[in-house]
Amino acid sequence: MLTPGPDHPITLEPSARRWRAYFNGHVIADTNDALILREADLAPVVYFPRHDVSVEYMGRTAHQTHCPYKGDAAHYTLTLDGEIAENVAWSYESPFEAMSPIRERLAFYPGRVEVYDIDDAAVNPHPRERAAEVTAREEVAEVDDSDEIDEIDEIVRHTDSGSGASQGEHWPPNVSGPDQGGAR
């Protein structure tokens, strides 16, 4: 085990931006809690919290690597929409003490999975802004759409509740039944 220092610096910093990982047409990771690891002359690496990654599409492989500064890394294969990418991500599940913040986080190999930052405000408006927007929308709905909302509510109450029965009283029939002397 080696310790990061002036001859081999490693820094970890929380990202101020939102990060995503994209594979085969799908966002497979999305977080505003990424850690950026900068190691010596290597490219920065984005570590995603495991709970912000779609791990249901991933399986651990037998492949392992060892870093004298971070420890042993487990690798993961990604299977999504019939495409399989072997050993596309890694995780230090029991990193050395100096690197403990990356425990329970995943990183992706560049070129295999697209990792990019996005403007958080564009996809996740701040709560106060969002609350003001929702309140304004609700006020407009109350003024303009009250009849439409009542009609929709009436329809919803007459749909199946999951038990096989309507949630409201039956409507009167809007058609008459067949005549007695009709075709048999």
Is residue 127 within 8 Å of 117, Cβ to Cβ? no
First to last CA, the chain: 89
Backbone angles phi, psi at 152, to 5 degrees: -65, -45
Q: What is the pLDDT along the chain (184 residues), one digit of tens a residue?
A: 888 888 899 999 999 999 999 999 999 999 999 999 999 999 999 999 999 999 999 999 999 999 999 999 999 999 999 999 999 999 999 999 999 999 999 999 999 999 999 887 766 665 555 555 555 555 544 444 455 545 555 555 555 555 556 556 666 767 776 665 555 5
Residue 71 to residues 2, 59, 63, 90, Cα–Cα distance (Å): 9, 20, 14, 12
Q: Which two tokens stand for residue 107?
A: 């990183």
Secondary structure letter of residue 98 according to DSSP: G
Average pLDDT, the chain: 81
pLDDT at 28: 95
Q: Contact 140/37 with Cβ under 8 angstroms?
A: no
Q: What is the model's pLDDT at position 5?
A: 85
Tens of pLDDT, residues 76-110:
999 999 999 999 999 999 999 999 999 999 999 99
Number of helices and strands (H, E) in the chain?
Answer: 3, 10
Q: Based on the number of CB atoms within 10 Å of its own CB, is 129 exposed (0-12), middle (13-18) or buried (19 or more)?
A: exposed
Place of tokens 């009609």: 151
Q: What are phi and psi of 121, to 5 degrees?
A: -65, -25
Q: Do the beta carbons of residue 102 and residue 37 sit within 8 Å?
A: yes
- The token duo for 135 is 């309140």
Contact at 8 Å (CB) between 70 and 102? yes
pTM: 0.67
